[in-house]
């Protein structure tokens, strides 16, 4: 119970103002912790302040990565295309989708590709929920480890927005956050193989990490066809420049290629 004296003190203008300022500062601090790291989504900001998040690696290589799978309807088509091209890639999978298709996850690994963590679901990042983020990323990492037979190395947050909570979640799970330095904008309804190839070429340099999607579950319906159709051309473009296309584990992002291979067992 609040005493009369205490109530009177609270009603004093100075005390009320101090309390409001303290509350506002706390809210601002929480918002800053959540939002400021999310600026990593902006390529210019990321490149200037957090260049390692771009996935920059060996200048003689390009890392090819896919988000949002595994998708039983489309991922096998990408696996066949990659096999024809003799390319291995990294698949950032969603735990809720891998849980429904663990055999497809095992097939990805059996064909020499790498599984990485994209989260459990694909929730938007705008509302802070750090405890849930830590729990869900840990759950996804454990499932990937079980399916792949080795601990995952990498984490890419949904929408590429790395909030304070997602930073903490990656750290707690022992994952290294990696975004991208080139993308195909393959999620849009008007994407075509030619447009995806051109977008990737525009952002690709030696050491780049390329983002594509092997599912349209979270993109425009049928958009996966643009990414799939672009693969032969964009791989040919890289090889014409003397660049080896492969997995993040072989790319030297924060780890030597040998250390990454020892950790993944490949």
Query: Which residue numbers are catalytic?
Result: 67, 213
Rounded Cα distance between 177 and 85, Å, is 28
Give one word for 178, left, alpha or beta, with left for phi > 0 and alpha for psi -120 to 50.
beta
Note if the bond before 70 is cis, omega within 30 degrees: yes
What letter does residue 246 receive in the DSSP assignment?
Answer: E
Neighbours of 26 (CB within 10 A): 10
Distances in Å between the Cα of 36 and the Cα atoms of 30, 43, 245 are 10, 14, 33
Rounded Cα distance between 40 and 162, Å, is 6
């Amino acid at each position: 119970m609040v005493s009369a004296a205490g109530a009177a003190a609270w009603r004093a203008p100075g005390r009320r103002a101090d309390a409001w300022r303290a509350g506002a500062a706390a809210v601002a601090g929480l918002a800053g912790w959540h939002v400021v790291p999310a600026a990593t989504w902006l390529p210019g900001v990321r490149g200037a302040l957090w260049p390692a998040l771009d996935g920059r690696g060996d200048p003689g290589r390009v890392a090819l990565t896919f988000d949002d799978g595994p998708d039983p309807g489309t991922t096998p088509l990408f696996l066949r295309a990659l096999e024809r091209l003799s390319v291995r890639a990294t698949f950032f999978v969603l735990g809720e989708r891998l849980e429904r298709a663990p055999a497809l996850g095992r097939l990805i690994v059996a064909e020499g590709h790498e599984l990485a963590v994209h989260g459990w679901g694909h929730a938007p990042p705008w509302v802070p929920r750090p405890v849930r983020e830590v729990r869900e990323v840990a759950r996804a990492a454990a499932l990937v480890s079980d399916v792949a037979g080795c601990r995952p190395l990498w984490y890419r947050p949904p929408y590429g927005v790395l909030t304070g909570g997602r930073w903490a979640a990656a750290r707690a799970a022992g994952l290294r956050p990696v975004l991208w330095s080139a993308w195909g904008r393959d999620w849009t309804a008007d994407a075509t193989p030619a447009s995806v190839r051109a977008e990737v070429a525009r952002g690709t340099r030696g050491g780049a990490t390329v983002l594509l999607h092997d599912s349209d579950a979270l993109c425009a319906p049928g958009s996966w066809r643009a990414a799939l159709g672009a693969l032969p051309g964009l791989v040919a473009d890289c090889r014409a420049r003397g660049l080896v296309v492969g997995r993040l584990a072989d790319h030297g992002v924060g780890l030597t290629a040998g250390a990454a291979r020892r950790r993944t067992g490949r």
